[in-house]
Structure 1
């Protein structure tokens, strides 16, 4: 079993694979990392030249030509938005930008209410025939933070499988995808800690 970790998408990404060949395992893992790096460049909300940023800059102005991956994730985002009746909405960016999470500053309720008028997944239009995406209203912003890491984990697993890896686990922060069996033939187990129960404190011995 081989494992490598790397900081991508502003978080720790760990890829574990089962293989009889170290060279094959490392090549597959590195290829999967490259796939995630590619997606990060396309989807990053804060990178000025990412495809998502270009869509945001052209909101209410013009359609933007985008890659198949960007079309695919936007299609999935719209699907999830419809299924959750808007509980998940990738156009939440107009509200997210009001918050200063580092300084823990909450915006005024009036500002939130105003920008909520710019949150509506129904105004996110994609055209697969023309490979374009468009936000109908000026000031709308797409933020894929709620879906991009899970999407990246899925794509990394697809990449590993194309490289003849039949078992492994990809962890992108809290988004984890496993496939196949562990070396001992047992399915992978994923532990989820109860957020209401604090972790055990470290034992301290007096000197």
Structure 2
């Protein structure tokens, strides 16, 4: 599991309008946050008010990044990582509960999802230069500092302790989905009737755009450029896609995804793209990443535990598998 995700989604909507006797405008803005391009779209009374609300969404996402980024040295997660193998670190309840949920996702997927994957040794190259497999011992050693079972939580003290020196945790796999969900939540609390918080393909939407009864999200087919597998029509829903169609290694005719199995250290194989849609972008994030690692058969078993979520898989051979 690695936090580089390809979106595979195409948003389709129109601008402008007059609905139900009052004017509505659709305003969108792009900004780089959490190392990704966020596109925030709001339906509001006028563009000035919409932009003020977009500023509030941006502030919320930046607040989250300043709590959970493993790259910003002042964050609580960076402090947890610096004290791996030394001592537990107290964190805000929000950070504690996000970590708690991440461990639950790891348990549900038998370790296919693991926020400690950031401690992985980089033994695979996905720039086209790798033509032979790394040695088995090298691959095995690459996950020596990885393992969610070594993350110790103390709920009463609100602390996180990483048992292994050199161990690290990071939220690249679900952090953007969590931020998208939070952006939607605070806008709904303010009475904003519709919008989308899109974190490079991990998105949360609500309401409907002007002059339409639903948002439309097209799921791309990586094997057939400019063709869509499906157009999703929805009001309140979240979508996340994990894929390997731009970053992979091909060795002896077999494709190895850039998404690494945290248990074995080997890249995922079998699936090129996994799109999950349902109520929460965070959960859809966790499921899409897990299923890329687990593959089609085990992935279907996993998602059966989440009846509110649906899937579109595309195999390495280009076969499209959709939930009926």
Which band: TM-score by shorter chain? 0.7 to 0.9
Alpha-carbon distance in structure 2 between the residues aligned to 1:43 and 1:100:
26
1:204 maps to what in 2? Answer: none
1:169 maps to what in 2? Answer: 196
Alpha-carbon distance in structure 2 between the residues aligned to 1:6 and 1:190:
20
CA gap of 1:68–1:21, structure 2 versus 1, over 3 A, is farther
2:172 maps to what in 1? Answer: 145
The match for 1:18 among 43, 63, 69 is 43
Q: Tell me the CA shift for residue 51 of structure 1.
A: 1.6
Tell me if structure 2 keeps the 8 A contact 1:156–1:170.
yes
Alpha-carbon distance in structure 2 between the residues aligned to 1:102 and 1:30:
36
Q: Tell me the CA shift for residue 4 of structure 1.
A: 1.4
Tell me if structure 2 keeps the 8 A contact 1:90–1:143.
yes
**Deviating more after overlay: 52-61 vs 115-124:** 115-124
1:194 maps to what in 2? Answer: 221
Q: Deviations over 1:72-104 (max 9, x none)?
A: 221221111111111111111121x53587977
Alpha-carbon distance in structure 2 between the residues aligned to 1:195 and 1:122:
35
2:10 maps to what in 1? Answer: none
CA gap of 1:48–1:111, structure 2 versus 1, over 3 A, is farther
Q: Which has the higher contact order (CA 8 A, sep 6+)?
A: 1
* Larger helix fraction of residues: 1
1:123 maps to what in 2? Answer: 150
Tell me if structure 2 keeps the 8 A contact 1:39–1:69.
no
2:205 maps to what in 1? Answer: 178
Q: Secondary structure at the match of 1:91?
A: helix
1:203 maps to what in 2? Answer: none
Tell me if structure 1 keeps the 8 A contact 2:123–2:142.
no
CA gap of 1:141–1:108, structure 2 versus 1, over 3 A, is farther
1:48 maps to what in 2? Answer: 73
Tell me if structure 2 keeps the 8 A contact 1:86–1:121.
yes
CA gap of 1:78–1:113, structure 2 versus 1, over 3 A, is same
Q: Secondary structure at the match of 1:75?
A: helix
1:98 corresponds to 2:106: no
Q: Secondary structure at the match of 1:137?
A: coil
Q: TM-score, normalised by structure 1?
A: 0.86
Q: Secondary structure at the match of 2:153?
A: strand
Aligned length: 199
Alpha-carbon distance in structure 1 between the residues aligned to 2:190 and 2:205:
16
1:1-40 matches, cutoff 5 A: 1-40=26-65
Tell me if structure 1 keeps the 8 A contact 2:27–2:47.
yes
Gaps of 5+ in 1: 201-207
**Deviating more after overlay: 150-159 vs 180-189:** 180-189
Alpha-carbon distance in structure 2 between the residues aligned to 1:104 and 1:144:
27
CA gap of 1:105–1:117, structure 2 versus 1, over 3 A, is farther
CA gap of 1:48–1:27, structure 2 versus 1, over 3 A, is same
1:78 corresponds to 2:110: no
Q: Deviations over 1:4-27 (max 9, x none)?
A: 111111111111111113333222
